[in-house]
Amino acid sequence: MRCRVSCTPSLLKTSKMTPSLLFQASVLGVLFGQPSVRESAQKPPRVSVCEVFQQIDTYRNKLVTVTGIYYYGLRDQCPNGPSSDGIPWPTAIDLVNSESPELDEEPVDFATEFAGFFRLLDLAEALLQRGQRGNREIVATITGKLHIQRDYRQSRGGKGLVGTGFGHLGVFPARMVVLRVDKVRVRPKVPPLDRAGPRK
C-alpha cells in the first residue's frame, strides 16, 4: 500500500469517515482501475463551480467537468448563487471516490482514476509545507458525476454551521463522485470579486 501524505490502518478501515476523508484515504491506499468504456466515451460539459450553482437543475446527476479552487473539495465564492431562508448556500462541492460507502443507494458505473489525484495531493501538501497556502491557491479541473441537494438548509449548531448536505457536518450542498482529475495548476490567490467566471 502506498501513502503519499499520511494514512493509518484505522483510517482506511473506518466506515464512519466523512466523504472527504474517505476519498483521500482511498486515494492514498488503493487504486481501483479504469473507468468504463461508456463513461469514458462521454464528453461532459465544462463549467465552473459558480456555473454549477447557478444552473443546479441542468447539472444535477450529470457527468460534468468542473473547475474551481481545490481546498477540502472544489469551491469558489460566487455571485447569484442559491439560498434558503435568505442564507446563501456555500458554493462548494464535496469529493468522493467511486468506492465510497456513501454511494450504496446511488452507485456509479465507472471507477475513479487516482494517478492525477496523487499529483493533486502532492501539490497541496507541498504548498502547506512551504507555508504558501495563504497566498497561493490550487485551481483544479475534475470530471465526475454531480449530486446536488434539492432542498439544502443550514443552521448554527454547537460545532458551528451544520447543513443538510454532504461531507463534514453536511455543509456541502453538492457532491462529486470523481472520475478523474484533468488539470491542476497553482496561481496567486485571486480576490473574491474576480472569481465569477470559469477557470481557463
Q: For residues 69 and 67, what is the distance between their CA atoms, to the nearest angstrom?
A: 7
Q: Is residue 200 part of a domain?
A: no
Please determine, for residue 63, whether its predicted confidence score (pLDDT) is greater than 90. yes
Task: Identify the CA nearest to 91 among candidates 35, 49, 31.
Answer: 49
Q: Is residue 12 part of a domain?
A: no
Q: How far is CA 146 from the centre of its chain?
A: 10
DSSP state of 200: -
Residue, of 182 and 192, whose pLDDT is higher = 182
Q: What is the pLDDT of residues 108-118, one digit of tens each?
A: 889 999 888 77
Q: What SS3 state is found at 177?
A: strand
| Bridge partners for 138 per DSSP | 186
Q: Is residue 141 part of a domain?
A: yes
Please determine, for residue 78, whether its predicted confidence score (pLDDT) is greater than 80. yes
* Model pLDDT, residue 65: 98
Q: Is residue 1 part of a domain?
A: no
Domain that holds residue 123: 18-192
Q: What is the pTM of this model?
A: 0.72
Q: Is residue 140 part of a domain?
A: yes
| Bridge partners for 65 per DSSP | 46, 143
Q: Is residue 8 part of a domain?
A: no
Q: For residues 29 and 173, what is the distance between their CA atoms, to the nearest angstrom?
A: 27
Place of cell 497553482: 186
Q: What is the pLDDT of residues 21-59, one digit of tens each?
A: 444 444 433 333 344 444 445 689 999 999 999 999 999
Q: Is residue 178 part of a domain?
A: yes
Query: What are φ and ψ of residue 52, in 5° steps?
Result: -60, -45
Q: Is residue 179 part of a domain?
A: yes
Structurally, how many domains does the chain consist of?
Answer: 1
* Model pLDDT, residue 103: 74
Q: Give just the sign of the alpha carbon dihedral 51, 55, 61, 64.
A: negative
Q: What is the pLDDT of residues 129-172, one digit of tens each?
A: 888 777 899 999 999 999 998 888 877 766 667 877 888 888 89
Residue 10: Cβ within 10 Å count: 7
The alpha-helical segments, DSSP class H, found in the chain are: 9-13, 19-29, 37-41, 49-54, 56-59, 115-129
Residue 105: Cβ within 10 Å count: 5
- Segment 81-94 shows an average pLDDT of 87
Grid cell of 157 as nine digits: 449548531
